[in-house]
Structure 1
Amino acid sequence: MRELAQAPFMVVALARPEVHDQFPRLWSTRDLQEIRLPQLTRKASERLVRDLLGTEVTPGTVEQIVDRSAGNAFFLEELIRAVAEGHGDRLPDSVLSMLQLRLDALGPDTKRVLRAASVFGEVFWRDGVAALVNQDPRDQLAILVERELVASSPDSQLPDQIEYVFRHDLIREAAFVMMEAGDRVLAHRLAGGWLVAHGYTDAVSLAGHFSLGEEPARAAEQYARAAQQAIAGNDTEAVLSHAERGLACNPTGAVAVLLRIALAEAHNWRGEHTQAIEVGQQARVDVVRGSREFYCATDEVFYGAGRSGNLGLAIGMVHEMTASVASPDAARQQVRSVARAAIVMLRFGPPGAGAALVQRTEELAARLPIDIGTEQRLHSLRAMAARARGDAGRCLEEHEAGQRACEATHNLRELAFNYLSYGGCHGELGAPDVALALLQRGIQIAERVGATTVTPLLWFSMAISAFDLRQFDDARAHGNRAAALAHESDLTAEGLARWLLARTAHAQGDLDTGEREITTALEKLSTLSRYRALALATKAQLLLGRGDITGARATAAEAMASMRPDDGFEEGESFVRLVEIQALEASGDPSARAATQAAITRLETRASRIEEPWRTSFLAKPDNAATLARRGVE
């Protein structure tokens, strides 16, 4: 090259930046022009991934490959090849070998520190690494910073701790893979212990350390904390995952109870009530009567039983919650649990059960200072109690206060239920257009947090409001959605949806569909006389449509016998009474006049408890208006 110094001759050499470390004087006597190639841009990397893997590659896979490659074209190509070959879950050998060659140049002490740091994850702390290597790692960390393998963080998640981050996750993976299996177990155990001692709060990360460190008891404890954090974050899927992983660690005692309670709660919110009952009963075996865990577990069994139609078990759980004496730290939980039972029993329980539980809840609450979580549940209960006695103003006020409490505590699951009741009340008071908007908001929240237990009821209430607006196609679509979501998991919700579908079919003159739907509705609602009465009344209407007046009269009479008179403004009584009148009128029975007068008297008595402007809109509802239109008709 010296002989060609004056000739038109050029040498192009390609190397990684480490070439200067290995050959510091390689170009010292030459007129060197160094061009550093920049990283691939994210947009270019994404385009390359899609070009090579095709349009079917998911956005998540594209993002993962691009993030791991960190703009390195060789790494990107190898990661794409690994995914194409079905090995995208592990680091390609080609990439691993190149990275390990780079790390070998660090020297044994620095490489040991890097391996220890990799145990913590993307973020690590100087003192944490020191606890793993049993030496001060300052000098080695300085080398790693200089080599641009790690970087110091301006802030730290842990107080008084110097924090670092890996610049590229591939470096961390390569360093971690270089550890012996036995060393990894010990390292995770030490890392978990150090993090707990220094106030680290990410329970999922801690559970992972203890699990990989072969300390299942400590892992289960952290999974229980992670499940509670997920409940607070309205993440139902995460609750299930954490609780199941925690139980897989075979915990005992209090930790096992907490995991089972969390799992039962998640199953209930997903509408998986049979599983919730089973897991909740398992939790109840190991709880102390009157403890907070006792009320939580019993509450979940009650709710699962009540929603799945097992009223015997539900009533048994109610007795357990109301007859027990709460320990001081469990008193507010008892109030919340009994209040929840009262809400369910006001809608689905036997006559008088809901009102008795309302009274018991208020007695228990009067003895305590109330926190905002308990206050939210009490607002919901008081709204339902006001609804049952026809106090529309108080009902709506309590729902609005409950909404504010849910928003303050970020309890989105309870907020979805609030919109169900709040919207339903507007529909029952004769404002179905307002109800539709509120119910749609409830559906959005429920679907966002995976609250499957409330979603079918929201769609059912949407169907009722659409029906009242004579939007029968929408009513049918909403009813079918409710029935599909509730199928086999929520007998009550499916039964109500099938009833509404039958009623819609009757309104559209489709008697065949109506008869199929009402048969299913009666099967699903067989244990709930209040709602069975609605289904029987619709069956009577269908029989009238077929010209079977005798059958219609008998079925309407059965509906009246099953009906529970309602002092409030809830849907149902007016409809059942109207169908009885229609059946009597069709047969020419003069007792139709007495039935009409009785229906009008009952309707006006109920309406008298409702203040304006709601009284007028309530009386204008289709069934109520049809009843009042018969006044004075011979």
Structure 2
Amino acid sequence: RQIRERAIQAAMQIIAHLTASTPMVLVIDDVQDVDDSSIDMIERAVQIGGGTSLMLICLAQRRLLDRRPRWGEAAPGALRIDLQPLDEHQSRRLVGEILRKAGKLPTDLRNLIVSRAEGNPLYIEELIKMLVADGVIVPGDDKWQIQVGRLPRLRIPATLSDLLRARLLPLGPPERAFLAAASVAGGAFWEGAVAAMLGHDLGADEQTILALESHAIIAAQAESTLRDEHEYRFSHDLLREAVYEQIPPEQRADYHRRLAGWLTNHSGERIESYAGLIAEHFERGGDLSNAGRWHIHAGAQARASYALDTAIVHYHHAIQFLVDDPTAVSDLIACYAAIGQVQLEAAQFAEAVASFRRARDLASRAGDQQTEAHALERLSAIADDMSDPLAMRDYAQQALDLARTIGDPAQIVICLANLSLANNRLGSTERGLELAQEALAIAQQANYDLGIAKSMAYLALAYEHLGDLATAMGHMQEAMARFRKLGNLAEVATQINNLGYIANAQGDFASALTFLEEGLRIAREGGIRYMEIYLLSNLGATLVGLGRHAEAEEVIRRGIR
């Protein structure tokens, strides 16, 4: 999440620099096909980029509003424009613009196109393309000819779908086969992928591609999303859908499996970013075991991008496909542990408990003590989030016993740290101090940097509960420095918040103000919003202590919002 937020901040800083002297217009098309996490990123970028000279234009079909009914309304200065069908005058202007090289158009031709289109600009474009293919309109370099005598013999499709299908009728078998395979890949496709689906050598479809380009059914892309691959796009997604719907189910499934295999072998260093697409093609091809495994990869990729909702969807798909596969037990265990962690990060505590319990049970039956210990440790951490110190202590002790059996120093350190915190929560502060000291000693011996930082943080809490605030603050500052070195901004903000809290308790409001303002800056830069609430609460107390009551009220209100 921190990396994601900082990436958005960096992108908006670049845009602010670029627009400092010249305004910029950025267009994002087909937003209805964008995943939820990317839509969230667009909204967040708008929130923090309000001071830039940037106009952001997002084009989408109405089905976007089925997912996000109020999308964009909260953005400052946002304007939503609903495109209505063209009126007759606008339709005539569009026809005249497309056919401007034909000079003065015959009234019958213009009336035919306008009346059939009923205000749909795509129908107008596609009907004109069909008239070109049928020889009614004959394009030339400088002037287009109209064969008016052919108009009475034309049979014009009544609907856009029928029109698109009619445009495919003149194509020969090679063009039809190529389009069928291409439609499986989506609106955009790679020449190599289509060749693999058809069992052709690369380059064998060159003449077919030229023919389809001449019919304006596909167009080459200036750049390809895959290195060393020629990429093309259907002229419209409705045309692709018309082709896809005509493929027999068995052949369609075979194409999906072949495409998944091709993507696996040709995605190169970007293979993880294509994991979700590979999983989808295996799924549509009926290969559910491979689909499940690739959904695990896709979930990991989404989690790394802090697209938590997307990650959860992928992991649920993986569980669905792998749960009855006796060869996939280890994958299933890893999947339950992974989805549990994502649910924890998304504050879905009850769901996370269920997932980690399932991971624990499966790991126990499979003799996987490492994962069983990890699941128990995570259950301990969740119990703390759910304010259940007794459960936290019990889970941490079970995890510690397993970790000692395995002999894993890192796991032992984390379990000891959790057990220390649980004892502190239960009032057994001396025991909590002993456990934190043991954790620190093992972490130092193992050179386990994260464990050292966590142990320092829990030592600080133990000393705070014992009333030794000076020692507590010293350990907090040491932990903060180590977390900062590790790049863990959430823990840095946590330690700074604790330092501010203690400074408030000591009446040192000037120091508290310095701590908490720095913590807020870090939390905002890292997108650590839950820490903002704690920091604002403590900052409100600081400002009250300094006699700045109006500011304190505003800060506390911001925390509530």
Contact (CA 8 Å) 1:115, 1:176: kept in 2 or not?
Answer: yes
Query: CA shift at 1:281, angstroms?
Result: 1.1
Query: CA shift at 1:439, angstroms?
Result: 4.3
Aligned mate of 1:300, from 375, 378, 383 = 378
| One-letter identity of the residue aligned with 2:179 | L
- Residue in structure 2 matched with residue 499 of structure 1 by the alignment: none
Determine if the alignment matches structure 1 residue 425 to structure 2 residue 499. Answer: yes
Greater Cα offset, 356-365 or 332-341: 332-341
Q: Distance in 2 between matches of 1:290 and 1:255?
A: 12
- Aligned pairs (5 A) from 1:42-441: 94-136=159-201, 137-152=205-220, 156-158=224-226, 161-199=229-267, 200-201=271-272, 202-249=274-321, 251=323, 253-287=329-363, 291-325=369-403, 332=410, 335=413, 338-339=416-417, 342=420, 350-368=428-446, 370=448, 375-376=449-450, 378-386=452-460, 388=463, 390-391=470-471, 392-393=473-474, 395-406=476-487, 415-429=489-503, 430=508, 431-441=511-521
Greater Cα offset, 426-435 or 15-24: 15-24
Q: Which runs of 5+ in 2 are unaligned?
A: 1-102, 111-126, 147-157
Q: Distance in 1 between matches of 2:419 and 2:381?
A: 7
SS at match of 1:324: helix
Contact (CA 8 Å) 1:290, 1:330: kept in 2 or not?
Answer: no
Greater Cα offset, 355-364 or 437-446: 437-446
Larger radius of gyration, structure 1 or 2?
Answer: 1
RMSD: 4.1
Distance 1:27 1:276, change over 3 A: closer
Query: CA shift at 1:479, angstroms?
Result: 6.7
Deviations along 1:440-471, one digit per CA (max 9) or x if unpaired, are 3465467x47x76x565455444544454455
Distance 1:315 1:125, change over 3 A: same
| One-letter identity of the residue aligned with 1:118 | S
Deviations along 1:555-589, one digit per CA (max 9) or x if unpaired, are xxxxxxxxxxxxxxxxxxxxxxxxxxxxxxxxxxx
Q: Distance in 2 between matches of 1:178 and 1:363?
A: 68
Deviations along 1:242-290, one digit per CA (max 9) or x if unpaired, are 2233333352522222222222223322333233222211110112567
| One-letter identity of the residue aligned with 1:23 | G
Q: Distance in 2 between matches of 1:270 and 1:334?
A: 26
Q: Distance in 1 between matches of 2:489 and 2:426?
A: 20
- Aligned pairs (5 A) from 1:602-617: none
| One-letter identity of the residue aligned with 1:190 | R
Aligned residues: 405
Q: Distance in 1 between matches of 2:400 and 2:139?
A: 87
Query: CA shift at 1:419, angstroms?
Result: 0.9
SS at match of 1:234: coil
| One-letter identity of the residue aligned with 2:194 | V
Greater Cα offset, 436-445 or 423-432: 436-445
Contact (CA 8 Å) 1:335, 1:364: kept in 2 or not?
Answer: yes
Q: Distance in 2 between matches of 1:327 and 1:96?
A: 66
Deviations along 1:495-547, one digit per CA (max 9) or x if unpaired, are xxxxxxxxxxxxxxxxxxxxxxxxxxxxxxxxxxxxxxxxxxxxxxxxxxxxx
Contact (CA 8 Å) 1:420, 1:461: kept in 2 or not?
Answer: no
Q: Taking structure 2 as the reference length, what is the TM-score of the superposition? A: 0.61
SS at match of 2:184: helix
| One-letter identity of the residue aligned with 1:312 | L
Query: CA shift at 1:340, angstroms?
Result: 5.8
Q: Taking structure 1 as the reference length, what is the TM-score of the superposition? A: 0.54
Q: Distance in 2 between matches of 1:205 and 1:287?
A: 29
SS at match of 2:429: coil
Distance 1:353 1:110, change over 3 A: farther
SS at match of 1:179: coil
Query: CA shift at 1:305, angstroms?
Result: 1.0
